[in-house]
Structure 1
Amino acid sequence: MERRLAAIVAGDIVGYSRLMAEDEAATYAALRSAFDDLITPAVQRHGGRTFKSTGDGFLATFPSVNEALDAAIEIQAGFEERPFDLRIGVNLGDVIEDNGDMFGDGVNVAARLEAIADPGSIFVSAAVVRGADRNRGEHFSRVGRRHIKNIRESLDVYAVRLKGGRKPVAHWLPRAMRGRRAMFAYATSAAAIALVAVAASDTARLEAVTAGFTQNLAELAGIERADARPAVAVLPFDNMSGDAEETYFVDGLTEDIITELARNPELQVIARNSTFAFRGQPTDTRQLGQRLGAGYIVEGSARRAGDQLRVVAQLIDTRSGAHLWSRSYDRRADDVFAVQTELTSEIVAHLVSYVRQSEVAESARRPTENLQAYDLVLQARNRYKHGSGDGEALLASRALLQRALELDPGYATARANLGLTYIADAVQGISGRATKADIETGLSEVRQAIRLDPNLAIGYQALSFGLAASADYEGAMQAARRAVELNPNDPDSMMALAKAQVRFGDYADAVANAERARRLHPLAPEYYTYVHGQALYAAGRVDEAEAVLNECLMRAPQEQDCLLIRAALLVGQGEIDQAQATMARLVAANPQFSLAGERDYRRFGNSPLMDRFLADLARAKAPATAARQPRVAATAT
C-alpha cells in the first residue's frame, strides 16, 4: 500500500435507475456511449486514470488539480448533448493506493462533494481552489460550508462556473475579431468604455478593472509579462517592550504575519530571511524596495507588557515613499491571533482588489488555545533556524517544542517543527547524535502534524525533506507540490519542488520555480543559487547555467554543489582541464565525495541526463570511491 497526495474526480449520472426502468436498452446504450466516447477519453487525455466504475458513476485520479479540473469541465460540457445529467465532485487530498484501487479521505470527500452537487454542476473543495492555477480564481463561486455525512468537520465548498459567468477578455475576444491588431484595438476601446463607466462608481472597482484589462491587453498584444501581483515585504517589527528578552516574541509575531500573507495567492511575499537581514538599518524605503523587489513595505512595532499587547503597523508604497495607512491595535496578549488576522486582512485589502472571505476565515483559525504553548514555539523558532549548523541550538529548540506539545498535544505547528529538528539533524549531522532512525521519528511527527492540520504548509515542507532523505523522491515531490499549493509564496517549498522536478525530468518548471523562489528571497543562501544553476544545466540552458554557477562560486568559492555542476558543465563545453581543476577543488572541500555516492544519490533520477552526468564527472577525474561513506543524503531538501 502507498499513501500519496492525489486529485480525485467523482462523477455520477442523475436519475439513471428511473431512465433504465423507462427504456432499458436505449438507456444502457447511451450510458456506454457516454463512457466510451466521452468520459474515458477525457480522463486519459488529461493524464488521469479511472480506478473505479459503479455502473452509472466513476472515480478517477489525476496528476494535478488543473488536469482534474480540465477533465471535469470537458466531461460536463459533453453531457450537454446527452440525455443524462451528471454530477461531479473534485477533491485534493491524501489517498491510499492498493493494487490499483484508492481509499481514504481524499476519495471520500470527492464522492461526498459529488453527492451534494447540483445536476449538471461541478462542486470542489477549498483544497482544489487553493491548488488551481491563479488565473482560474474567477471560475469558482463559493457555495459555503456544508456538513457532509461521515466527514467530521464541515467542508468549504465551491462550484465551478460553467455557463453564464464572466469570461476573461482573452477567452471571448478572439472569437469576436480576427487578428492580433484588430483584437488589441477592440480591447483598447472596450477598456476605455469600461473605465469611464467605472470611474463614476468607486475607486476599488476602478483599480480592479484596470488591473484586469492591463493583464488582458498584454496577453492580446503578445507581450510576456512578469508576475503582475503586488509584492510586499514585511520588515522585522521593533521590540518596544524595553526588554531584549521579548525580541523573540516580536520576531515570532512578524514571522506569523509573513506566513499568513504568503497564503494569499493574490500577493507575492518576500521571504522572512531576506527582510530580517535589514533589521536596524536606516535604509530609505525606496532603495529597500528596489533591493527586495517589493512595491510595498510593512513596518511596525510591538510591545507586550503583562497581559497587554500593543501593535503598530504601517504600509508604505516603495515607489513614492507614501504611507498608505497606519493602524494601532491595543489588545490583551491572548488576542494575538486576532491582531494577526486583522492586520493581514487590511494589508490584503489595500494591495488587491478584494479579500476572499474564505481565506480570511482560514487565517483566523487559532493554531492553539494555549498561549504558553504558542510562546514556547516562538522561542523554539528563535533559538534554531532551519539551515543553521548549531547543534546545541537545535537540541534546545527541540526541548522547547516538546514542552509546547506537553501543554497542547494537538498543536500541529509545534509537531511539524519538532519533526523537522529530527530530520534535519539526521540528514545534516548537526548535533552529532542523530541516527538514520531519527528520520523515521521525524516523519512520524510530521505526518501526525498533517493529520492534525491537513492545510499546514510547513508540515508538507518538512514531509518533503524527510521523504527525500529516505530516497522516496516521488513522494518528496508530491509533498513539496502540496506545500506550494498551500503557501504559494514560500520560497523554501518552491526550491524543494524545483529540485524534485529536476530529478523527474520536469526541467522547464524546475527553472521557473527556482527563479520565482529567488525573486521572493533575494538574500537567499547559496543553496538557492545551486538549485537554479542545476535546473538550468538540466534544461540545456548552458550559458545561463554557467552565469548562475559563477555567481554562486564568486560568493562562496567552496560551495560543493555549485562546484559539482560546474565541473560537469565544463566537460560538456570541452573545457576538460578546467573541469578537472574544478573537481580537485570539490574533493579538497569534501574528501568524502565520490562517483559511487553520486550514482547512489541519483541527482537527476533515472533519466538519460543522469548517465551523461556521471560520465562527465568521470572525465573530470571524480574519485570512484571515498575513504568514508558519504553522509546521509546531505543535499536532499
Structure 2
Amino acid sequence: MDEARKLAAILVADVVGFSRLAGADEDRTLARLRALRSDLIDPTIAIHKGRVVKRTGDGAIVEFRSVVDAVRCAIEVQNSMIERNTGLPQERRIEFRIGVHLGDVVEESDGDLMGDGVNIAARLEGIAQPGAICLSEDAYRQVKSRLDVAISDLGETRLKNIADPIRVYSLLFGSAIAKATTLAGPASSTALNLSLPDKPSIAVLPFQNMSGDPEQEYFADGIVEDIITALSRFRQLFVIARNSSFVYKGRAVDVKQVSRDLGVRYVLEGSVRKAADRIRITAQLIDTSTGAHLWAERFDGGLQDIFDLQDQVAARVVGEIAPKLEQAEIERAKRKPTESLDAYDYFLRGMASVNQWTRVANDEALRLFYKAVELDPEFGSAYGMAAWCYIWRKLNGWVINRAQETAEGARLARRAVEVGKDDPVALSRGGHALAWFVRDLDSGAAFIDRALALNPNLAAAWNLSGWVRAYRGELDLSIEHHARAMRLSPLDPILYNMHVGTAFAHFQAGRYVDATAWANSALHEQPNYPAANRILAASNALSGHMIEAQQAMAHLRELDPALRISNLTEVLPLRAEDLAKLAEGLRRAGLPE
C-alpha cells in the first residue's frame, strides 16, 4: 500500500446531539444538514482551500494547507450557525463542535488520512463546547498572533486514548465572548483576572466520579454542591458558586489559572466513590498562591452517613482557612433540607437536569422535584426549585397553559417558604416566585433577604434579589445585587440573566445607553432570550435608535409571538409607572396593542 507521511492542519467537526435531533425528527434533521453542507460548509471549506478527507455521518474530517485557513474556516462556520439558529428553540438548533490540530499524519493511496494528527483533532472536537472551537497548543502557536480573536487557555487536558496531556485553547467569539465578562461592564473579550476578596476565598471544583458508572455523575456533583452550600453559610468565607466552579468539570486545570479566573485564594478538589451502600470522599485543599497542598484526607462511611461526611469535609476546610468561627454558624452549616435519602437522590437528579438550561431538561427537572416532595412533603428546596422551573418556562416562552402554570408556581412558592424557614434555596426561590406569580414584592424581597442572611455566598439569591429590587424600584440596589451575583459566579452559564437584570435596572432609571450595552452583552451569550430582546427594543426606541429598536422587536416577536402591550402585565410583576414606561418603549418599537 502506498502511503506518505506529512505535517497537516486537521479540522474535525460534528453535530452536537445528532442522535437526539434525528430521533425527534429524522427527515427534517437530515434535510437541514444536507442544506448546510451544500450552501455553507462545503463552500466555506473550498474558499479556505480545504479538502474533505472523510464524511462521518453528521461530521467531517478536513485537511487544510495551514492552521490559519482551518481556523478561519471554523470561525466562519460557527458564526454563520449563530445567525441560522436565531429564532429556533434550543431543541431544534444544529450546533457544531470543532477541533483543530497541527500534527503528523499518514496519507494513504486513496487520500485518507491516519495517525495521531487526526486522532488528536478528533479528541479536541469531542471536548469542545457547542458552538466552540478547540485548538491544540501546536495549532494555537500558528494563529495566536495572526487572527483577531479572543482565546481561553483551558490548560493541560487529558484526551481519551492520547498518552500525554495536551494544552488546549478554546476560541471565544460570538456567544462565547460573554464568558469573559468583567464586573466593570458588560461583555469583554479579555480574560478574567479578578482580585482577591478581603476574606478567605475558595472554589470547590467538581469532584471526580470514581464509581465506574457514568450514571452516578449526578451523585458526585450533588455531594460537591452540598459541600459548597455548607461552606457558603459561613460569613467569614467568600465561596464561589457551583455554576462557575463547575465550568472546569472534566478538565485538567491549573489552580493558579482558576485563582485568576475566579478570584480565590484556595481550591478544593477531590473524588467520590459510591459502591452499594458505602461511600468514600477524598478531598485536597490547595493554596493557589503557592500551589501547595494544605491537606488531603479520605472520608469513609455508609450511604446513611452521607450528610455527616459532607459536614466533615466542610468542617476540615473551615478549620484550615478560617479557624475562628462562632458555634452558631457551625451548627447552622450542618442543617440539611431533608432526612430522606430517596428524596435527596431525586433532588440531586433534578438539579443535574435544571442545570442543563434546556426545555426538555427543565421538564425532567420538574418531574424529579415533584417526586422529591412526594417522598418528603417538608422538602423546602425541592418546592423552591420546582417553582423556579415554572419561572424559567415563562422567561423562555415555553408556557403551555399560562393560568394553570401561574397558579401552580404560586402554590409551590408558598409551600417553599412555609416549610423552608431555615433553607436559603427554598426561601430565595420561593420568595422570587411569590414576587412573580403572586405579585407580592414586599414578602418576596423579605424572604430573599432572609435567605441571604442564612447564606451570604448564594449567588443565585443575589441575582434573584437584584430582579425583585428592580421590580420594587430600588434600582441602584438592584445593580449592586446583580454585581454581587456576578462576582460570586463570574463564569455562570446563565450570566446573561444577571446582565439582563442589570440592563433592566438601567432602563428603569432612564440610562438607555447602559441598558442597551448590558442587553447586547446578554444577547451575545444567549441571542434567543426574550427578556434581553425586550429591554434592547424598548431602550433603543426610547433613545431614538428606531432601526435597532425595530430589529430587536422583529426578533422578539419571533421568540414570543403572543406578546402584546395588553398582556405585558402577565410577563413582569411591575409597578404601574414602570409598566407604563416599558409599554411605551415596546409600543414605539412596534409591539401591537
Corresponding residue number in structure 1 for 2:585: 616
| Cα separation, 1, equivalents of 2:562 and 2:334 | 49
Residue identity opposite 2:587 in structure 1? A
| Match among 436, 440, 443 for residue 472 of structure 1 | 440
The alpha-carbon deviation at position 235 of structure 1 amounts to: 1.1
Query: Within 5 Å, which residues of 2 pair with 1:296-315?
Result: 296-315=266-285
The alpha-carbon deviation at position 407 of structure 1 amounts to: 4.4
- The percent identity for this pair of structures is 31
Residue identity opposite 2:588 in structure 1? R
Q: Residue 232 of structure 2 contacts residue 458 of structure 2 at CA under 8 Å; is this kept in 1?
A: yes
| Cα separation, 1, equivalents of 2:580 and 2:452 | 30
Corresponding residue number in structure 2 for 1:182: none
Corresponding residue number in structure 2 for 1:339: 309
Q: Residue 262 of structure 1 contacts residue 490 of structure 1 at CA under 8 Å; is this kept in 2?
A: yes
Q: Deviations over 1:383-422 (max 9, x none)?
A: 44484311xx555545544554454444444444455556
The alpha-carbon deviation at position 424 of structure 1 amounts to: 5.3
Q: Residues 263 and 474 (structure 1 numbering): CA distance in 2 closer, same or farther, change over 3 Å?
A: same
| Match among 486, 494, 497 for residue 465 of structure 2 | 497
Query: Within 5 Å, which residues of 2 pair with 1:185-584?
Result: 227-352=197-322, 354-385=324-355, 387-390=357-360, 393-394=361-362, 396-421=364-389, 430=398, 432=400, 436-467=403-434, 468-524=436-492, 525=494, 526-584=496-554
The alpha-carbon deviation at position 320 of structure 1 amounts to: 2.8
| Cα separation, 2, equivalents of 1:435 and 1:610 | 20
Q: Residues 246 and 586 (structure 1 numbering): CA distance in 2 closer, same or farther, change over 3 Å?
A: closer
| Cα separation, 1, equivalents of 2:268 and 2:581 | 48
TM-score scaled by length of structure 1: 0.56
Find the residue that maps to 2:234 and give its secondary structure. coil
| Cα separation, 2, equivalents of 1:325 and 1:512 | 36
Find the residue that maps to 2:358 and give its secondary structure. coil
Find the residue that maps to 1:436 and give its secondary structure. helix
| Cα separation, 1, equivalents of 2:364 and 2:524 | 35
Gaps of at least 5 residues in structure 1 are 1-224, 626-637
The alpha-carbon deviation at position 603 of structure 1 amounts to: 6.1
Q: Deviations over 1:276-330 (max 9, x none)?
A: 2211112211112222233321111011122322111112222332222222112
Q: How many residues align?
A: 396
Q: Residues 288 and 469 (structure 1 numbering): CA distance in 2 closer, same or farther, change over 3 Å?
A: same
Residue identity opposite 2:508 in structure 1? A
| Cα separation, 2, equivalents of 1:507 and 1:534 | 9
| Cα separation, 1, equivalents of 2:537 and 2:390 | 33
Q: Deviations over 1:323-343 (max 9, x none)?
A: 222221122221111111121
Q: Residue 395 of structure 2 contacts residue 531 of structure 2 at CA under 8 Å; is this kept in 1?
A: no
The alpha-carbon deviation at position 487 of structure 1 amounts to: 2.1
| Cα separation, 2, equivalents of 1:537 and 1:288 | 34
Find the residue that maps to 2:576 and give its secondary structure. coil
Q: Residue 500 of structure 2 contacts residue 519 of structure 2 at CA under 8 Å; is this kept in 1?
A: yes
Q: Residue 533 of structure 1 contacts residue 548 of structure 1 at CA under 8 Å; is this kept in 2?
A: yes
* Comparing 316-325 and 580-589, the one that deviates more: 580-589
Find the residue that maps to 1:302 and give its secondary structure. strand
Q: Residue 599 of structure 1 contacts residue 614 of structure 1 at CA under 8 Å; is this kept in 2?
A: no
Find the residue that maps to 2:269 and give its secondary structure. strand
Q: Residues 543 and 231 (structure 1 numbering): CA distance in 2 closer, same or farther, change over 3 Å?
A: farther
Q: Residues 605 and 408 (structure 1 numbering): CA distance in 2 closer, same or farther, change over 3 Å?
A: closer
The alpha-carbon deviation at position 589 of structure 1 amounts to: 3.6
Find the residue that maps to 1:277 and give its secondary structure. helix
Q: Residues 266 and 281 (structure 1 numbering): CA distance in 2 closer, same or farther, change over 3 Å?
A: same
The alpha-carbon deviation at position 271 of structure 1 amounts to: 1.8
Q: Residue 315 of structure 1 contacts residue 323 of structure 1 at CA under 8 Å; is this kept in 2?
A: yes
Q: Deviations over 1:37-57 (max 9, x none)?
A: xxxxxxxxxxxxxxxxxxxxx
| Cα separation, 2, equivalents of 1:554 and 1:423 | 22
Q: Deviations over 1:593-630 (max 9, x none)?
A: 333333665665234x544443333333x2233xxxxx
Q: Which has the larger radius of gyration?
A: 1
Gaps of at least 5 residues in structure 2 are 1-194
The alpha-carbon deviation at position 354 of structure 1 amounts to: 1.7
The alpha-carbon deviation at position 512 of structure 1 amounts to: 0.3
Q: Residue 266 of structure 1 contacts residue 352 of structure 1 at CA under 8 Å; is this kept in 2?
A: yes
| Cα separation, 1, equivalents of 2:548 and 2:373 | 53
- Higher RCO structure, 1 or 2 (CA under 8 Å, sep 6+): 2
Q: Residues 320 and 572 (structure 1 numbering): CA distance in 2 closer, same or farther, change over 3 Å?
A: farther
The alpha-carbon deviation at position 444 of structure 1 amounts to: 3.5
Q: Residue 417 of structure 2 contacts residue 431 of structure 2 at CA under 8 Å; is this kept in 1?
A: no
Find the residue that maps to 2:359 and give its secondary structure. coil
Corresponding residue number in structure 2 for 1:114: none
Q: Residues 591 and 296 (structure 1 numbering): CA distance in 2 closer, same or farther, change over 3 Å?
A: same
Q: Residue 447 of structure 1 contacts residue 459 of structure 1 at CA under 8 Å; is this kept in 2?
A: no
Q: Residue 450 of structure 1 contacts residue 460 of structure 1 at CA under 8 Å; is this kept in 2?
A: yes
Find the residue that maps to 2:425 and give its secondary structure. helix
Q: Deviations over 1:447-500 (max 9, x none)?
A: 344433411112122323432123333333333333323222222221221111
Find the residue that maps to 1:303 and give its secondary structure. strand
| Cα separation, 2, equivalents of 1:350 and 1:477 | 35
Q: Residue 420 of structure 2 contacts residue 427 of structure 2 at CA under 8 Å; is this kept in 1?
A: no
Q: Residues 576 and 424 (structure 1 numbering): CA distance in 2 closer, same or farther, change over 3 Å?
A: closer
Find the residue that maps to 1:326 and give its secondary structure. strand
Q: Residue 383 of structure 2 contacts residue 413 of structure 2 at CA under 8 Å; is this kept in 1?
A: yes
Residue identity opposite 1:236 in structure 2? P
| Cα separation, 2, equivalents of 1:615 and 1:395 | 34
The alpha-carbon deviation at position 541 of structure 1 amounts to: 4.6
Q: Deviations over 1:337-360 (max 9, x none)?
A: 111112112222333352221121
